[in-house]
Every structure is written in structure tokens, then in C-alpha cells.
Chain A
């Protein structure tokens, strides 16, 4: 590793702590790895606490405690206390299940700053269709309990073909539940979502309709609810600034301790990842092979290399380039300037094909010890 690659390392802001891949839901768009068997051994409490300290030293300001379902870890309270002791802004990203009212109070008391609750659908059948479980009532209980203990609430909604028409209902739900923030994020087609793309990708018309509704609600609710709407890459002319640039702002640590520049990065064959059990977060961030591989713009091919927008989208999503083209260093095909944008256009076309079959495969959780 050359010195030059470490001198230029930017300051990371967010640690995404994937505490476990265990989860009571089987969402068909889950971004967790398709193959979970090798993630069987989870880091212990002390190791996570060390990682939180190392994150603070590295300049990190926020930690997302996520999974899988982080509530299945019984040391969550202890981790929140440690995160708070390091002055990290602490988000819990959860399905809310298993629900435990008293526990939410304990987490708030431990210093939890914000709760991000996933809501799969406002329709019970829709919820069961996409996640394998009708859990809407449980969500309502969690949201009410979060408010009761003074936890700021975000509703996280993953939009897809099956629920995108219910954006107005999601907005009404956020209002009713007293959420401060509503994230309407379209599925991005990686991991399980790519397997299920034909079943999940909405039409352009449905997407535009949803976006118009969200824009109007953002104006109406300004100052009450912050409304975010994230388009799917498949309907943008330019790619998303995935992770705000590779190894630029985020560090993801998987349940067994691998440090990744993005939660999908293990899908890229040939990249080697270091483990926080073996090295400090700073060493990994500054100089490891995986983090330096696509940092900055030296790796960029044409047309990215000379593109005026390369500092805006950072070349898009490496995992998407790998998943669709087999080359992680290719221009993200979501970009209309990519020579292989045709793969995206073909998927869009299928979204409007009334004769297309749209089978849905729920995420299978393979439990191995």
C-alpha cells in the first residue's frame, strides 16, 4: 500500500453496525447477503464496544445500529450506553419485532437518539406478501411506545411495485404516528431485490405519481415531518451517489466483524476484506485493499474519468456495476452515459409488459452454526 493512498483518506462520518443477520422478517428486497452461512459467528459485546471507541477516534459522528434485527441482541442497551459515552449520535434501525415496550424505555434512557422503524406496507396482506409476516399492528404499537418514551421516530419505507400506490397512506400513517421523519426509499436492485426485480420494479408512471404526492406532502408538512424520497437508480439518468462515494463517509461492520465500504460490498468477487478482530478500524479505513480500491477517481473508466459530475455521484454504485456487468470498475449502468445502459432500459421495459411473469422469492434465512 502506498503512502499516497492513506494521506488522502477522507473523514468518515457514519458507522453502520450490523449487529446480527438474524431477523424475524424475510423481506424480498433485503440487502443482506444472499448467503448468510459464513456470518454465523457474531462479534461479542466487548468487541463492538471497542469498535465504537475506534469509530469515535476516527472522527465518526453517527452510528446506525442495524442488522438483521438488532433487537434480537440482548446487549443492545450496553452498546447504546457505549455509543453515547463516545458522543456518537445513535440510531436504532429496526423492524420493531420482537416488541418490548419496557425495552424501548431502557434504550431511550441509555441514550438512544433516534428510532428508525421499518414499515413494509399499510396493508396487512401487502405486508405479509413482501415480508412473510403480517406485522402492521406490531408496528403501530412500537411507534406509539416510541413516542411515549420520547424517542424521535422515523418511518422507513422501502417502496416497490407492490406498495408504491400507497405512498399517500404511508404519509397519513407518519402523520398519525407523530413521526418526525419519513423515508420513502425505493428499492435498489441489489441482493435479494435483484433476484426479485421483475416483481418489484414499478413502472415509470407509478413512480412519478408517488413522487408528486411525496413532493406535495413535503411542502404541506414542512417543519413537522421531514419527507425523503429516494428514486430507484433504474429511473434516473444519473446514478445515485452510492454511500456518498466509496469509502468516503461510511464504514459498515458486519455481524462477524468484516469492515466494508458498503453493505453490499461482499457481493463483489475478488475484493478482500479485513476484520475488526484483526486490525483497528483506522488501519482498515486508511489503507486496506477494499477501502482504497474505488476511493477517489483514479479507478474510474471513461466516460466517468472526465465527467463533470464525477464529484457529484462518485461514479455511482460499484456493486451494481458488478452485479449487472460483472465488472466492479465499470461505469454504473444506471447512468445514461454508460455504454451498457441498455441493461437498465431492458428492465424498465419489462416493468411495463403486461404479460411478464412476476414471481416473488422471499429471503430465505439459512441458519447454520
Chain B
């Protein structure tokens, strides 16, 4: 289970790209794709930086002044756990 100490990264089979047609970022993986909201796309981007979830949350808090820390953390964990359930995250070692 992904927690604050995890260092999630996208599984090797996953490609993160921008889709001109929809104006959204997507995660593509074998036979499937996932359209991301702007917020989710930012989290997916941070997965490339080898950060802990806690560090990702700090980064997002600094990017969104005024949004409560707890809410950002909950959003990040929810999204990452959804990705993990779909097998889209590589092993995190935690």
C-alpha cells in the first residue's frame, strides 16, 4: 500500500504523454490509456523525480498556497493508490 514514505514511479510499461486532441495528459500502457486531470498529470510528472509521497505533497502544497495540506495529501494518496491498483506503478520498496 502506498504511504507517505513510498517512492512511487511509473511502471516501465507506462508512457506519460500529452494528447493534443483532448488537451490533456495521458498515461498509455498496453491496450489501455488513462486521461488525466491537470492535477493528476502533475502528480504523474512528479513520479519521475524519485520523490517520496511526503515530498510530493510538500511540493504541491508550495504550488497551491491556501489549499490545506491534509487535502492535498489525501488527493495524492487516492490517485497513487488507484494507479497502483491498476499495476501502473513500479515497486516502491515500502
Contact = CB atoms under 8 A, between A and B. Distances in A.
Interface of A: 11, 13-14, 59, 61-62, 64, 87, 89, 91, 113-114, 116, 150, 152, 154, 180-181, 222-226
Contacts of A224: 87, 91
Most chain A CB within a 10 A radius of its CB, from B28, B85, B91: B28
A154 B28 contact: no
Interface stretch (B11-19, B44-52, B62-70): B11-19
Contacts of B13: 113-114, 152, 154, 180-181
A290 B26 CA distance: 30
> A-side binding surface: helix, strand, loop or mixed?
loop
A61 B86 contact: no
B19 A225 contact: no
A262 to B, nearest CB: 15
B33 A62 contact: yes
A116 B21 CA distance: 28
Contact of B11 (A13, A61, A89, A180): A180
A350 B84 CA distance: 42
A162 B53 CA distance: 46
Q: How large is the interface on B (under 10, 10 to 19, 20 to 34, 35 or more residues)?
A: 10 to 19
Contacts of B86: 226
Given A11-B21, A61-B26, A226 B87 contact: yes
Nearest to B83: A223
B56 interface: no
21 contacts: A11-B21, A59-B21, A61-B19, A64-B31, A89-B15, A89-B28, A89-B33, A113-B15, A113-B28, A114-B13, A114-B30, A152-B12, A154-B30, A180-B12, A180-B87, A222-B87, A223-B84, A223-B89, A224-B91, A225-B87, A226-B87
B89 A61 contact: no
Interface of B: 11-13, 15, 17, 19, 21, 26, 28-31, 33, 84-87, 89, 91
A222 B85 contact: yes
A14 B30 CA distance: 11
A223 B87 contact: yes
A114 B21 CA distance: 24
Given A11-B21, A152-B11, A61 B28 contact: yes
A59 B26 CA distance: 13
Most chain A CB within a 10 A radius of its CB, from B12, B19, B29, B85: B29
A218 B86 CA distance: 10
Contacts of B91: 223-224
B17 A87 contact: yes
Contact of B31 (A14, A87, A223): A14
A224 B21 CA distance: 32
B5 to A, nearest CB: 15
Contacts of A91: 30-31
B21 A13 contact: no
Closest 5 CB pairs of A and B: A226-B87, A152-B13, A89-B28, A152-B12, A114-B30
Nearest to A87: B17
Contacts of A114: 13, 29-30
Contacts of A154: 13, 30
Nearest to B86: A226
A297 to B, nearest CB: 24
Contacts of A59: 21
A154 B31 CA distance: 11
A222 B84 contact: yes
Contacts of A64: 31
Contact of A150 (B12, B15, B84): B12
Contacts of B33: 13, 61-62, 89
A181 B30 contact: yes
